Structure 1
């Protein structure tokens, strides 16, 4: 039996409730939790009968084979919780029908992996095949991905994605570092991952400008009924002239000339620092590259990561900034 999107939402909410050993859930509690998320995702709420059917399906072999504690009650009311505290349907293997559907989907996606905008598919497909055990004859994992499963804010990702799709104005509660919590209205536009962190790009009504917020500093994001201001930004182009996610307003890109050590230049040529990177033909040793970007915090972070293998040759603005960083670093090691 394949599972549609609305049913998957319901099962995921129930799974979260059954896994919560810090709270008691009766039928009415479960119904409230499920309907709250359904409405949030633009779906119709369900009745008690559908909830009962969902739980029965989740307990069946055709579903997820979950085991609930049959002995929990408050008076005459039944309470729902997994028998095993460590169980989750996310660990449950796919049934044959869903496995076949997933394989078909991966085959369809594979057709587009050579298109520039779908380069991510080349990494996504082996990850999916390994995660769902679609590759036969493989006993151990053979590929690893950089990720941070403990990163705070991951729970906001799906919710914000749906709010962007539905073009909803959001009341954002945000906790800056070493400051009091802030709250403001935003118009969410785009989600981007950089350096294993997710960032939300939006229009901030208070600042009347595009702002970005790391998801791990977001406390809450709630939909409002305010009128949504759509974005005219082409987000594929927005990041073309920067490294990372910070784009200073009113600053133009600069040609930045970077001279690397003989050992490190080989690495730089096989893994370019930026899409604009090109070799400086004036350097007979082929150790110098030029990138055209707007200087920002992430650029300097990246340049500093090369240590003594890199010298910024031009322009003087970036060179002086690197000198300043180097001087401060030198003081810390005296």
Structure 2
């Protein structure tokens, strides 16, 4: 009878089997504590003295025995060394085969690929059409996706319109980034003359239905994080093979987007601790389930206070147009409380908006 694949599924057993096998194939000494700590994402020192108090301990003991038995069936009974006892008991693999359960691992990988393939088919409506037609060109997969759409069997879609200007350039820009290619791009900034940029592309980001390309542009500031919108590119970008590619510093874009909402940095903007008041329970719940920024933190939970019913939350950001736009989107439901300079900017924007709708006499 064929043994069930130890690595399949999301159960404790499968998780412990994957971790245990990885440790054993490293040929290092390993303990029950090491394996439990890795599954819990904690250090060994953080685990309780009595390991049986950890969730899944029973499955851990059984799974280690099952994995070792499966390896012994392939390699022989003399493929392990053991040392110590109880909590300090450790063991290591010393067999000649460097991957005795390769058939199970490969079957797991194939199953994962099948699931991914099914996801790609089901989610064809989520990805821009240009992505699918570029990367699945001449593949049966693309035909299958079209058939599913025609039959009304597509089960995932996006809320925004994916038919955007120049969206057909997305795949080639993605490949230019991954292949570290320099591009010559004809670009028309808003309310300026058209220019030709020698662009070293680093990063693609979509915000509010609009795609942006970030990178290094020769002779322009900033040195990294130069931002152009795809819909303002005037012609198909051209590869410049003889120009040496300038990459971004490691983790640059992690930091670049860390303190902003959206995609833009204002010149000389500084990070602010902004307190925002949600004037209704509905608006508060919207903000709590879809925060403005990753730094979102509740300052006051929703309730009745001396000056009214509300909740307050904070974000630590550089205020930019995208931030103010998100606040204005909620109308009278959100109020910037502090700092004063951010509140003043909101006041100016609200008054300018109000001036467009004067009361009729």
TM-score by length of structure 1 reads 0.59
1:133 deviates by 7.9
Query: Is residue 2:294 matched to residue 1:278?
Result: no
Q: Give me the whole-angstrom Cα distance separating, in 2, the residues matched to 1:195 and 1:102.
A: 36
With over 3 angstroms needed to count, the CA separation of the structure-2 counterparts of 1:319 and 1:157, relative to structure 1, is: same
Segments of structure 1 that go 5 or more residues without pairing to the other structure are: 1-100, 111-120
Residues 62-89 of structure 1 show CA distances to partners (whole Å, capped at 9, x for unaligned) of xxxxxxxxxxxxxxxxxxxxxxxxxxxx
Hey, what's the Cα distance between the residues in 2 that align with 1:202 and 1:213? 9
Question: How far did residue 103 of structure 1 move?
Answer: 8.0
1:316: how far off? 0.8
Rg (Cα) greater in structure: 2
1:222 aligned residue: 238
Give the TM-score of the pair, scaled to structure 2. Answer: 0.54
2:198–2:217 Cα contact (<8 Å) kept? yes
Query: What is the deviation of 1:141?
Result: 5.0
Aligned-pair distance for 1:322? 0.4
Matched with 2:270 is 252
Matches within 5 A, 1:177-216: 177-209=190-222, 210=224, 211-216=226-231
User: Corresponding residue for 2:145?
Assistant: 132
Gaps in structure 2 of 5+ consecutive residues? 1-108, 127-143, 305-309
C-alpha separation in 2, matches of 1:178 and 1:333: 27
In the TM superposition, 1:1-334 aligns within 5 A as 105-107=113-115, 126-128=122-124, 132=145, 141-209=154-222, 210=224, 211-220=226-235, 221-224=237-240, 225-234=242-251, 235-248=253-266, 251-262=269-280, 263-281=282-300, 285=304, 287-334=311-358
Question: Alignment RMSD, CA only?
Answer: 3.1
CA distance in 1, matches of 2:266, 2:117: 36
Call closer, same or farther: CA 1:180–1:129 in 2, change over 3 Å.
closer
* 8 Å CA contact 1:103, 1:134 repeated in 2: no
